[in-house]
Structures are given as C-alpha cells and as structure tokens.
A and B are shown apart, each in its own frame.
Chain A
Amino acid sequence: MPPKIYSTNKTMTSPQIEIQLIAAVVAMACAIPGVFLVLRKMALISDAISHSILPGLVLGFFITHDLNSPILILLAAITGVITVILVEAIQRTGLVKEDTAIGLVFPALFSIGVIMIAKNANDVHLDVDAVLLGELAFAPFDRFLLNGLDLGPKSLWIMGTILFITIFLVIMFFKELKISTFDAGLSASLGISPLLMHYGLMSVSSVTVVGAFDAVGAILVVALMIAPAAAAYLLTSDLKKMLLLSIGFGVCSALLGYWVAHWLDASISGSMTTVLGLVFLFVYLFAPRKGWIAVWYRQKQQRTEVSLLTFLLHLNNHSEERERHINHLQEHINWQRVRSQTVLDLALKNNMITISEEIVSLTSKGKEFTELALEYILTNRDEKIEPMKDDFFLFRG
C-alpha cells in the first residue's frame, strides 16, 4: 500500500501539487515516444524494455545506492537497448517471429534482475513491488538539494530533463522520424538512416522508461506510452496532432487518475492506468470516423445502400409490371419486410422511384444514378461517382 498524502484542509498541499506535476511530466515524456512506437507497430517492445531494464537498474543501484542517479538511469537504459538488439538478433536467425523473440528476451533479463534483488535483499532498499508498480506517493520525499537549498523533488528534475530532451529531439528530428517510420526504404535511399533513427528512438524510450519507472513502475509505464497514442491514432490523420493529442490524453489521465486514487484511497499508478484504459475505451467507441459506433453505423448504411442499388438495378433491368410490383420485393428479391421498407423509403426520399398502384417505376434521376453506379462498378473510376458522393456513403473509402 502506498502511503497517502492527506490534505486536512480544502486546498492542495505542496506534496499533492508536486505529485501531480511529476505525474503530468511522466505522462508527457511517455506519450511522445509512444506515438512512434505505436506507428512502428512496436508497442510490445516498450513492454520488453520496461521489464528487462531491471538488471541494469539493480546493478546501478548497487553502485550508486540512489534510484535517481544519472548513472543508474544510463545503465538501465543501456540494458533497454541491449534488449532491442537481442530481440533483433534472435529474430534475424529466422527461426522465430518477433513476438516470440520478445517473449524470450525480456523474462530472461527481468528474472536476472529479480534474482539480483532477492540475493541482496538485506542491503538493498529495493523491492519487487516497487519495481512493478512504482511509488509516486514517495516521490516528493526525495528532494533535490543544492548547497542546502531545496529545489523540489528529485524525480521531477529527472523526468523534466528527460522530457526536455525528448521534446528537443522530436522537434529537431521530426521530419527524419516521420520518413523513417513511414517509409524506411526511401529514408535509407535519401541518406536518413532508418537504423540510426530506430536506435535513437529505442534509446529515448529506454531512458524514458527508466525515469518514469520510479514513479509508475515497470508495468504501468507501458500503459502511459501506448494507450494515449492508441487513442490519438483513432482521432486524427495528422502526425503532429497525434502527438499533441497523445500528450493531452496522457496528462489528463494522469491528473484524473491521481484524484481518483485520492478519493478511492487507492494506488496512484493503478488509478492512472485505469483512467487511461477508460479514456481509450471511450475513444474506441465514440471516435467520429474510426470508432466502433461510427464503423457500425457506416456498415449499416452501406448494407442499405447496396440493397438500394440492387433494387434499382432490378427495376432498370425489368420493364414488365409483374417484376416491379411492390410485393415482388419480398417474394423475388427475398428481403425481409423491414429492409424492403427501408430501401423503398430511401429511394422515394431521393426521388429515384415513383409508386403508382403498387407498381414501382424508376424516375429519370433514378435511371441516371443507376447508370452512373453501374459504370463505376464496371470501370472503378472515381470521377463517375464524385457528384453522388454527398448523397451516399456507398462509395466512400
């Protein structure tokens, strides 16, 4: 159980503000590399890194006896990059696929770390629980002192520095990150080495994971990297906006998570991750274009439109009245009554048919539409249906 930071009055205490500040900075620093990991389909690598840095972390701790030491962060980050190299080496043998290689490497390294902790449990103030879940609530107790002057929590300085470097790198190398992620082949041919970008991203991710790990732990740091990016991916088709949205989701979830933890008297990192999960779920359901509801609605519309087109083609092909009788829909085309009614209504609403004495006829607009649609289906040329796109979903990508 992490200790609680109580406020006895209504205003926030200084540790409370500091914890939220750290949480927000961690969320931002994680969200940025997370976007590129998601776009490179390497989300699992962040999971691997977050676990396999443990031996580096423990080793660093033996040497420095300080979880926030830059040497420790560097050592752990190097373990992270070694993980990536190992995974790629195993993958290159061609004997196993990438996911298997990841599954082989990180438990091995993680378990080495666990044994190292267990073997030295007596001298080391480091336990597996803290490694897995982090101790954000403790963060304000470890102060950054300079000549006796209190400059705030140490982890805020560390994560702040990591965040600053990350933002600097993303701004400097935005175009290189974009092209090497989208088209590694062209990138290589232009002299922008995808390998260099890959290991650069892996190094930044490793450093971020190590820095964030103190606050949120090895498991939850993955959520902070992946969930905001995954949610942003569903909402935008612009890389810059995706980055900004991810940062926004990360920070909001971190702050909201903190207050949920406060109200429920529960783990801060656990609440932050839960909120992240809920944010993703919400976006997944309600995203305007790629969301589940939007897709479901679009597919339903498309089904209706295909039915409409089938119906119009049928009318176009048959001049005899028997084939155009309103009851014929149920009998011959074999549709259920509801669908028939929907299709008839849609065709009527768009002035494509007229019905007189239960006999359906195509209007001139209906004829024109049918012919254009036929031509589109036969030639697959977009300009044929360009003017109809506003009325119908049917031919939208």
Chain B
Amino acid sequence: MKEQPAIQIDDLTVAYNYKPVLWDIDLTVPEGVLMAIVGPNGAGKSTLIKAILGIIDPIAGSVRVFGKAYKEQRKLVGYVPQKGSVDWDFPTTALDVVMMGTYGRLGWIKRPGNDQKKASLEALEKVGMLAFKNRQISHLSGGQQQRVFLARALVQDATIYLMDEPFQGVDATTEIAIINILKELRKRGKTVVVVHHDLQTVPEYFDWVTFLNVKKIATGPVKDIFNDDNLTKTYGINYKVAINN
C-alpha cells in the first residue's frame, strides 16, 4: 500500500451564512514538511485549520489524516489556536494551561496526574517559560503567552501540528524560541502547518508553502513555487518580496 500523506483535503468548501470562505480546496500535506499557509486577511487560513480539526463543519468535502477521518486521529494532531481567541484573564496559571494539552489523551473524566505534570513542566522548559509556571496568565507578556500555547501543543505529543499565527505580535525572543521548536519538530519527522503572515521570512523558516485566497492558488516546495507570480495571484496586487534563493 502506498504511504498516506499527513493530511489529505478533497473538495473542501466552508461557508459562513452561505458565503463561501473556502471554495473547493484540494490540498495534500506530505509527511514531515514544515508548511506555511499564506494569504491576505479573510483568505480563510484559520478556517482551513479549523475545518481540518473538525471545529467547523464544512458544507462539502473531506479531510483525511493519515488516511482516516480526523475524529479517529485526534491524538496525532496538536493545535495552537490564535492567541486572541481566548480570554487571558481566565483564573489559571501558565502550567495549568499547558496541562490542558494532555486532556485529549486523558479522555473524558480522567484527571491529569504526575505524569502529565512532569510532561507539562518539560514543555515549559523547552519554550523557556519554566520560571513562569505559577504565573497567572494575564501577567504574562504577549510573547510569553504565545510560548505557553506552544508548550501546550508540545505536550499533546502529536505527529502533526497545526498552528494559527504563532508569530503574531511576538517579541524577538519568542520568535527565535518558536523557530527553534519548529526546526526541532521537523528534525523529529513531525509535520507542521503554520498560518503565517510575514512573507519575508517564509523562505527562511519553511520548506513548503500553500497560497490561499478562498481558493487554493498553489502548493508545493518553497524553492519551486514561492515566486512573484503566485504572490501576485494570491494578493491581487503586484507583490514583490526579496527572496533569497
């Protein structure tokens, strides 16, 4: 049997109030790639991620994770939502938020114990946030909050990671921390899909890229398809960025 791609999306259409946000998307994410999803605001980038994760129901199409429906493969997929999607005034600590990453494997009712705590502390250390483990999350800077989210995804111990704008509004320290984690994940053979805004850094950080604007414009290795032609098609204007090989 041929090896299954990490994610296989066929004819996916998602609509809000009958207005298509994603239109007939076919997309294959091969295993082991570090893929950026780029596109203008309202292109449906977050929606694509949410549709893969079953958070939004598509009106048509299918998503397969290693050949099976997402529901059967939950434990293989880690998720970093947009930082702005949660209330950071929620009464909880950094460690507690990271522990939430273990809830999926635990399943209903079972409570996290020492193993989960240990894994969460290790994840906090990896993102350089161990010193802040007991800090209330509203007292963390934006970059620190993003690193807590990343640690939470690491604790999920997944094979595929979906990240929604992890670089948005972060400081330099956090950006470096995230890149190092991404590189480490790739080294370990994980598949990472990142909604990304900063076009300048695409060739530097990623090896695959998908151009999206309601429809899929192009997908493939960065060195082959990250060019002015596709950028112009995606963003609608004559888009020029400095691309270093």
Residues of A in contact with B (beta carbons under 8 Å apart): 39, 41, 94, 172-176, 178-179, 181-183, 185-192, 233, 236-239, 241-242, 379-382, 397
Which residues of chain B are within 8 angstroms of A39 by Cβ–Cβ distance?
87, 90-91
> Judging by beta carbons under 8 Å apart, are B53 and A188 in contact?
yes
Q: Report the bound CA distance from A175 to B17 in whole Å.
A: 33
> Judging by beta carbons under 8 Å apart, are A192 and B108 in contact?
yes
> Judging by beta carbons under 8 Å apart, are B97 and A192 in contact?
no
Q: Report the bound CA distance from A175 to B99 in whole Å.
A: 10
> Counting CB contacts under 8 A, is B103 at the interface?
yes
Choose, from B4-12, B133-141, B230-238, the stretch at the interface: B133-141
Answer whether A185 and B79 are a contact pair too, CB < 8 Å, given A191-B74, A191-B104, A382-B141. Answer: yes
> Judging by beta carbons under 8 Å apart, are B17 and A94 in contact?
yes
Answer whether A237 and B171 are a contact pair too, CB < 8 Å, given A175-B111, A183-B85, A192-B108. Answer: no
For chain B, the bracket of interface size reads 35 or more
Minimum CB–CB distance from B192 to chain A (whole Å) comes to 15
> Judging by beta carbons under 8 Å apart, are B103 and A185 in contact?
no
Q: Report the bound CA distance from A192 to B93 in whole Å.
A: 21
A-B contact pairs, 11 of them (CB 8 A): A41-B87, A176-B103, A182-B100, A183-B86, A185-B79, A189-B77, A190-B103, A236-B91, A239-B90, A242-B91, A397-B140
Which residues of chain A are within 8 angstroms of B54 by Cβ–Cβ distance?
188-189
Which residues of chain B are within 8 angstroms of A192 by Cβ–Cβ distance?
103-104, 108
Which residues of chain B are within 8 angstroms of A174 by Cβ–Cβ distance?
111
Q: Which 8 A-B pairs have the closest CB atoms?
A: A190-B104, A237-B136, A189-B53, A397-B139, A185-B81, A188-B55, A189-B79, A237-B91
Which residues of chain B are within 8 angstroms of A189 by Cβ–Cβ distance?
53-55, 74, 77, 79, 104
> Judging by beta carbons under 8 Å apart, are A380 and B55 in contact?
no
Residues of B in contact with A (beta carbons under 8 Å apart): 17, 50, 53-55, 71, 74, 77, 79, 81, 85-87, 90-93, 97, 100, 103-104, 106, 108-109, 111-112, 136, 138-141, 144, 152, 171-173
Answer whether A186 and B100 are a contact pair too, CB < 8 Å, given A237-B93, A238-B92. Answer: yes
Answer whether A183 and B171 are a contact pair too, CB < 8 Å, given A189-B55, A237-B136. Answer: no
Q: Report the bound CA distance from A233 to B172 in whole Å.
A: 33
Answer whether A239 and B91 are a contact pair too, CB < 8 Å, given A185-B81, A190-B74, A380-B171. Answer: yes
> Judging by beta carbons under 8 Å apart, are A182 and B90 in contact?
yes
Which residues of chain A are within 8 angstroms of B109 by Cβ–Cβ distance?
172-173, 176
> Judging by beta carbons under 8 Å apart, are B86 and A182 in contact?
yes
> Judging by beta carbons under 8 Å apart, are B92 and A175 in contact?
no
Q: Report the bound CA distance from A380 to B86 in whole Å.
A: 23
The residue in chain B whose Cβ has the minimal distance to the Cβ of A382 is: B141
Q: Report the bound CA distance from A182 to B138 in whole Å.
A: 13
Which residues of chain A are within 8 angstroms of B17 by Cβ–Cβ distance?
94
> Judging by beta carbons under 8 Å apart, are B138 and A397 in contact?
yes
Q: Among A94, A181, A186, A233, which residue has the most Cβ atoms of chain B within 10 A? A: A186
